[in-house]
């Protein structure tokens, strides 16, 4: 059982929940004007973990035959038959049920919108079969985090969480374009769609950089508009440096450090943004 649990957690890349969860917390802190109630945080965390688990498990199911043919992904759990299809289907269903239940425990609007959020994160798995904008669908999936957390706290929607969601969309789309560079030859052979496969590595990396610049500018606008102080701006400046470092790691002629750029640097970006912004929100009691 323990071995199966470890394989399952590896399959859904459980540790990468860190990419979206800090942005959900940012949305919740902004909505509450400070620290949300413990129960609200608990249900938000449960909803986030559940919906991401459903999305990742569904992605592995949808891509099983593709993963089998791709040398980079052939060692994953389903191609290697370390987990059965029926087990993973059960994981998708159970995680989806837990997500909807957690949404119901928050408020009526969260429950009403939970099927739409679930549809968005599941649809992403098929987008690379028909459009090179697939990266933006992934960005949209993670953009639901701050929007959903705001709704979880307030039971309504506003401009601020939408702007935060747009920043997440730009960030995620950019780093997913970088990550897709390593599969450019495979995607072209298989007829799969991505920005690198469509436009080439150099243009793809330039587009990723522009998206990340847009993210920094948008967050700066949000922080200024909300009256946050030096701590948030200092955190954003450090994030800008991390973004620059991320792009320095990957070049069209050298993709060997993509994993460092994708996993390590982006994990630090999301945590740093939440810690500095969350503390600033509490200090200023942002309405």
What is residue 254's three-state secondary structure? strand
pLDDT mean over 120-139: 96
Give the rounded distance of the alpha carbon of 148 from its chain centre: 13
* Residues written for the chain: 287
pLDDT digits (tens, 9 = 90+) for 184-229: 999 999 999 999 999 999 999 999 999 999 999 999 999 999 989 8
Domain span at 170:
2-284
Exposed e or buried b per residue across 174-212, where buried means at least 16 C-beta atoms within 10 angstroms of its C-beta: bbbbbbbbbbbebbeeeebbbbbbeeebeebbebbbebb
Predicted confidence (pLDDT) per residue in 238-283, tens digit: 999 999 999 999 999 999 888 877 778 888 898 899 999 999 988 8
CATH of the domain at 237: 1.10.357.140
- Alpha carbon separation from 191 to 14, 130, 136, 151, 233 (Å, rounded): 29, 9, 19, 39, 43
Q: What is the mean pLDDT of the chain?
A: 92
The residues, ordered by sequence, that sit 6+ positions from 112 with a Cβ below 8 Å of its Cβ are none
Domain count, the chain: 1
Whether the Cβ atoms of residue 210 and residue 187 lie closer than 8 Å to each other = no
Q: Is pLDDT above 60 for 9?
A: yes
Which CA distances in Å does 178 have to 74, 207, 284?
20, 9, 36
Query: Is 82:43 a contact under the CB 8 Å cutoff?
Result: no
DSSP state letter for 155: S
pLDDT of residue 259: 82
- Which class for 87: exposed (0-12), middle (13-18), buried (19 or more C-beta within 10 A)? middle
């Amino acid at each position: 059982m323990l071995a199966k649990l470890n394989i399952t957690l590896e399959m859904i890349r459980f540790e990468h929940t860190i990419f979206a969860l800090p942005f959900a917390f940012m949305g919740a802190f902004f909505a509450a004007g400070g620290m949300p109630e413990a129960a609200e945080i608990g249900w938000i965390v449960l909803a986030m973990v559940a919906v991401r688990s459903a999305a990742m498990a569904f992605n592995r199911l949808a891509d099983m035959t593709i993963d089998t043919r791709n040398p980079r992904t052939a060692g994953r759990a389903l191609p290697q038959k370390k987990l059965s299809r029926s087990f993973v289907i059960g994981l998708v269903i159970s995680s989806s049920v837990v997500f909807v239940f957690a949404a119901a425990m928050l408020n009526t609007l969260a429950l009403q919108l939970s099927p739409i959020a679930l549809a968005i994160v599941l649809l992403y798995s098929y987008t690379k079969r028909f459009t090179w904008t697939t990266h933006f669908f992934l960005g949209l999936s993670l953009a639901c985090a701050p929007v959903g957390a705001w709704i979880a706290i307030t039971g309504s929607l506003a401009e601020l969480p939408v702007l935060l969601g747009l920043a997440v969309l730009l960030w995620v789309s950019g780093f997913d374009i970088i990550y897709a560079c390593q599969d450019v030859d495979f995607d072209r052979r298989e007829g799969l769609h991505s920005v690198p496969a469509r436009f080439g590595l150099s243009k793809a990396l330039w587009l990723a950089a522009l998206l990340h610049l847009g993210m920094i500018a948008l967050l700066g606008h949000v922080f200024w508009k909300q009256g946050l102080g030096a701590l948030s701006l200092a955190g954003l400046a450090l994030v800008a440096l991390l973004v620059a470092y991320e792009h320095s790691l990957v070049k069209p002629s050298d993709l060997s450090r993509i994993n460092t750029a994708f996993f390590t640097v982006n994990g630090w970006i999301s945590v740093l943004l939440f810690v500095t912004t969350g503390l600033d929100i509490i200090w200023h009691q942002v309405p």
